[in-house]
Amino acid sequence: MTDVFGLSHKDASPAKDATPIQPVKHEQVVFCSDERSGLNAIIAIYSTALGPGLGGTRFYPYESEQAALADVLNLSRAMAYKNALAGLDLGGAKAVIIGDPAACKSEALLRAYGRFIQSLGGRYYTACDVGTYAEDMDIVARESSYVVGRTPEHGGAGDSSILTSFGVFQGMRAATEHVYGTSSLNGRRVGVEGLGKVGHRLVDHLVEDGAEVVVCDVSEQAVERVRQRHPSVEVVADTAALTAADIDVYAPCALGGSLDDATVPQLKAKIVCGAANNQLAHPDVEKQLAERGILYAPDYLVNSGGVIQVADEIEGFDMARARARAARIFDTTLKIFEMADVEGVPPGAAADRLAERRMSEVGRLRGIWLGR
Ligand SMILES: NC(=O)c1ccc[n+]([C@@H]2O[C@H](COP(=O)([O-])OP(=O)(O)OC[C@H]3O[C@@H](n4cnc5c(N)ncnc54)[C@H](O)[C@@H]3O)[C@@H](O)[C@H]2O)c1
């Protein structure tokens, strides 16, 4: 296995029997290393067509540098599409720090990482992701001006799940408008899988709008918190019970991959709309959903409220402005369902097309010379 960080310049040409590295479409991929602090990071900028690339920093004990590289390349591309659809003037990027955050996260490592971000001159803005928290971003920000997702004490946006759940709710309203002709969830039965930071807040929105809510979570504590706030909420044992339940909307808000060859045939809901990233276990699942007449609201569109919230820090955080921007997820979701119908493609493909169109049409304007 090639150790990317271990390569000297002399070693860097691929061995004859090595698998050829596929050319990437990314604008820039940067390997950052600081031996003393133990920093091994990769920053991938997929596109700056709409502005500086924004995407979080994942701190994770990858099995190999190849696994980390594959992850950061995929995640940075996904951020370009998410930011484009969210209407942000931001491109797509992401970073990974290789290692177990519990064992090797330190002030020196985070600050070394911050200096590498700073060295990119604003082409990359970072934020929190798996394994990194707002407090970590405060430390990274001591070395770099290009950090969002900081704590409110440092001008940050705070917990991004506030607008993530709000955005998912907007996407769900658009889906019910498309299917039932009304954007109200009043009287609909909604199944929420996962009652963490996003899921429990989504339940608040749903109950407030008059929906009947059915939930499940592997954590008894998470279930209890929701039951305390909303005694009317029905609890089922697990995901299998939830997908088989008599519900109108299924909202996956736990881990990715909850829609697969086993769950889709069971599903009674007419709509899937939730916060979890990568809900479809494989690309064919969207076709299976369409064949069963189930409307799928693309995950990266409806869960973009969080990135909208943290991106607002670049202008100086204002919750009212960020919330107004996240409310537009309703219109974008409706537009994508309409495009999907007209073009005869699944909503996921329509969402990709709309994102690509914006990157191309707005990105092209940089070619207009502004004079000196
Ligand atoms: N937090 C955000 O702002 C944000 C933004 C975009 C996307 N997302 C995505 O939304 C999802 C939820 O995020 P979160 O921040 O609420 O995470 P979280 O860790 O706070 O909550 C996840 C919850 O899911 C539960 N869970 C795990 N496995 C489960 C299972 N098999 N069945 C039922 N429940 C299960 C956990 O016990 C936990 O309560 C994740 O996929 C995340 O990537 C979150």
pLDDT at position 16, please? 43
d(CA 117, CA 129): 16
| Residue 256 CA, closest ligand 1 atom number | 41
pLDDT at position 18, please? 44
Residue nearest to atom 27 of ligand 1 (CA): 254
Mutate to test the pocket of ligand 1, among 255, 273, 277, 280 (most ligand atoms within 8 A of CB): 255
How close is the Cα of 297 to the center of ligand 1, in Å?
17
How close is the Cα of 361 to the center of ligand 1, in Å?
34
Q: What angle (nearest 5°) sits at the alpha carbon of residue 54, between those of residues 51 and 57?
A: 160
| Residue 163 CA, closest ligand 1 atom number | 3
**pLDDT lower than 50: segments of the chain:** 1-19
Q: What angle (nearest 5°) sits at the alpha carbon of residue 250, between those of residues 242 and 205?
A: 110
Q: Which of 109, 150, 151, 132 is nearest to 58 (CA)?
A: 132
Catalytic hit among 16, 25, 82, 94:
94
How close is the Cα of 194 to the center of ligand 1, in Å?
6
Residue nearest to atom 2 of ligand 1 (CA): 161
pLDDT at position 24, please? 73
pTM, full prediction:
0.92
pLDDT at position 15, please? 41
206 lines ligand 1 (CB under 6 A): no
pLDDT at position 21, please? 53
pLDDT at position 372, please? 81
326 close to 163: Cβ distance less than 8 angstroms: yes
| Residue 195 CA, closest ligand 1 atom number | 39
d(CA 356, CA 80): 9
Longest dimension (CA), the chain: 67
d(CA 172, CA 178): 10
94 belongs to the catalytic site? yes
